[in-house]
Amino acid sequence: MNRFKGAKISTVINELDREYLLSTQDIDFKFYQNERDFVVDEIPMEEFLGRGNYLILKVQKVELTTWDMIAVFAELLNVHAQKIGYAGLKDKHATTTQYISLESKHERALNNFQHKQIKILEKTRHSHSIRMGDLAGNRFSINLYELDAMDAGKIEKVARKIAKSGLPNYFGYQRFGRDAGSIEQAREMIKGELFIEDAKLKSFLISVYQSYYFNEWLRERVMFSKESGSSEFALLSGDVFVAKDGKLSTPKLIHSKEFAAKKVVPTGLLCGRDTFRAKYDAAEIEKKYDDAFLQEKGARREALVYPSDIECKYVKKETMLQLSFTMPKGAYATVFLESIAGKNYSAKDVKQEKSRKK
């Protein structure tokens, strides 16, 4: 098998475009990733018990990565960072709230905790530590600028349409690093042209490689849907679906009724070993973005997600629309904004040197 057959790796940088089914392409707006205009609140998977051997902190951080925040607590408590549990990584250029876990013996050491970029909002107890993936989703509140009231209304309308029909679940631009340089590194490592000793970096580059292929597969499926004249995601025989309980279907039939009822969602391949592959018509597209020689474990990722609890508030004097919505874990808020705008963003597009004044 040719590892790169059909994937057109030679033009990788130009192929990062993400295609969407619904948009407001005639409306241009701006948003900025900073502490005022990009706010994220983590939604835990379960209710904490209020008792147990683990201390749960609800923490708000500003202009820090999750790893930076964990490093602060690790140094203060003189523990290894791996002893601090967390459910997911949150944006750096934002105000974000998430939950972390520590052994309860450290509670007293945190009584007078002070940090200019970190606040402990709440403390409680639980029976076990927080593990990666232990979240239901994230609540976003993002300010969109340079809009009049009519444009704000159009954006709300298309946002609700996307929430109803489904948002292509691309990995966002953040996944691939500035100027997509991490993709080139991943390619070289996989081909054996670059040796990576650091285990974390190696794991990250593998995930970048898998994410790139998933995005390219999803783009082709979206283009196929649009060429079929549909504003909704077109199903194919042999698609692998996932149900709400996380169980994958045998890739045989098209589950159109269940899909319409949102009981199942089609999935795309994160290439690697030990995972289902599509069959029949779906396989003809999927195999172009597969790498059967990759030794790392593969997985399936939902092709679509459904933003929920959409709220819109227009502020006329600032020509600003505050758009709030909830996304399931692993989904990117910036992908939702891209779909609304009908364009792709990069880190350069949303960077602002200084936060807007409150």
Q: Which residues are catalytic?
A: 91
Tell me the C-alpha distance between 298 and 31, whole Å. Answer: 34
Q: Which two tokens stand for residue 72?
A: 């602060």
**Under a CB-based contact definition with an 8 Å cutoff, are residues 48 and 100 in contact?**
no
Q: Which two tokens stand for residue 213?
A: 């292929």
Tell me the C-alpha distance between 155 and 158, whole Å. Answer: 5
A 10 A CB-CB count for 35 gives: 18
- The residue among 238, 234, 236 whose CA lies nearest residue 225 is 234
Tell me the C-alpha distance between 189 and 183, whole Å. Answer: 10
User: What amino acid is encoded at 317 in this protein?
Assistant: K
SS3 194: coil
- The residue among 310, 303, 309 whose CA lies nearest residue 331 is 303
Contacts of 317 (CB under 8 A, 6+ apart): none
